[in-house]
């Protein structure tokens, strides 16, 4: 993949999901790495502590957006919880010089029923 | 404001929040309007039915991103629920020809404690 911000952010995300946190940071992230997910400490160590949660999880990235230094992913996760419908997730990454330096996310369990037929994606 | 996609999406969002759903659609949205929030029906009528929820709510837009036809807002809401810390919200809008035609969102209550000092924003 060419080294555009979306490609770097997606490669980082996938490496973390696969449990390769050290690779993810060596290849794609910088330091300090500022974490805004309230369950995760700053930096590589924060992600190393939580990556075991992801062992049985899977993620389908539905959309990738980029605006300057930021990359936004809209994804459908399964296995983060026991919700059989999974979660809708948006991740926002901030990059500098081709390295991921900051992360925000918003996570919502997908409800059983919907007022429309369009799905959350 | 100039008629860029971010300005149109933000103006639409603010008009809906202020309860001016008909103005919002007349000025900034098209038809059909495809709704992905599972609590809201498609179209203007869907938003008209739920806008009463927003009477006591307030929203601070923290970040606005744009990528082609899409605009992404990262916001801190209060008053959507009785959570005193409010909710972290990402809205995604798709526009065509300067009109909002599709909406996705992800909403997460802000927890009481955090593993980092950075807030969800």
User: Is B41 in the A-facing interface, judged by CB distances under 8 Å?
Assistant: yes
CB B106 within 8 A of CB B90: yes
Estimate to the nearest angstrom the gap between the alpha carbon of B10 and the chain centroid. Answer: 8
For B46, the closest chain A residue by CA position comes to: A115
B47-87 pLDDT, tens per residue?
999 998 888 899 999 999 999 999 999 999 999 999 999 99
For B88, the closest chain A residue by CA position comes to: A106
Tell me: pLDDT of A85 over 60: yes
Whether B40 sits inside 8 A of A115 (CB atoms) is yes
Q: What is the pLDDT of residue A44?
A: 97
Q: How close is the nearest chain A Cα to the Cα of B58, in Å?
A: 18
Residue A10 parent element (H or E):
helix A5-17
CA distances from residue B91 to B9, B55, B61, B102 in whole angstroms, order as listed: 10, 19, 10, 10
Q: What is the mean pLDDT of residues A78-93?
A: 96
Q: What is the pLDDT of residue B84?
A: 96
Q: What is the mean pLDDT of residues A96-116?
A: 98
Interface pTM, i.e. ipTM: 0.96
CB A75 within 8 A of CB A92: no
Tell me: pLDDT of B1 over 70: no
Estimate to the nearest angstrom the gap between the alpha carbon of A113 and the chain centroid. Answer: 26
A51-63 pLDDT, tens per residue?
988 888 999 999 9
* Contacts with A41 from chain B: Cβ below 8 Å: 115-116
Tell me: pLDDT of A27 over 70: yes
Q: What is the mean pLDDT of residues B7-36?
A: 97
Q: What is the pLDDT of residue A52?
A: 85
Of B36, B42, B89, the CB nearest to A106: B89
Tell me: pLDDT of B2 over 60: yes
Q: How far apart are CA A46 and CA A44, in angstroms?
A: 5
Query: What mean pLDDT, rounded, does chain B reach?
Result: 96
Tell me: pLDDT of B25 over 90: yes
* Contacts with A67 from chain B: Cβ below 8 Å: 65-67, 72
Instruction: Determine the angle formed by the axes of helices A21-28 and A5-17, rounding to 10 degrees.
Output: 160
């Amino acid at each position: 993949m060419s080294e555009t911000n979306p490609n770097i952010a997606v490669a980082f995300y996938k490496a973390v999901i696969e449990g390769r946190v050290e690779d993810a940071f060596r290849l794609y992230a910088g330091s300090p790495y500022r974490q805004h997910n309230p369950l995760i400490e700053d930096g590589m160590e924060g992600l190393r502590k939580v990556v075991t949660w992801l062992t049985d999880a899977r993620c389908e990235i539905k959309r990738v957006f980029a605006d300057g230094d930021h990359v936004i992913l809209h994804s459908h996760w399964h296995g983060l919880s026991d919700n059989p419908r999974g979660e809708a997730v948006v991740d926002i990454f901030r990059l500098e010089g081709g390295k991921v330096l900051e992360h925000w996310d918003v996570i919502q369990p997908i409800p059983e029923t919907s007022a429309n037929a369009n799905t959350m994606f």
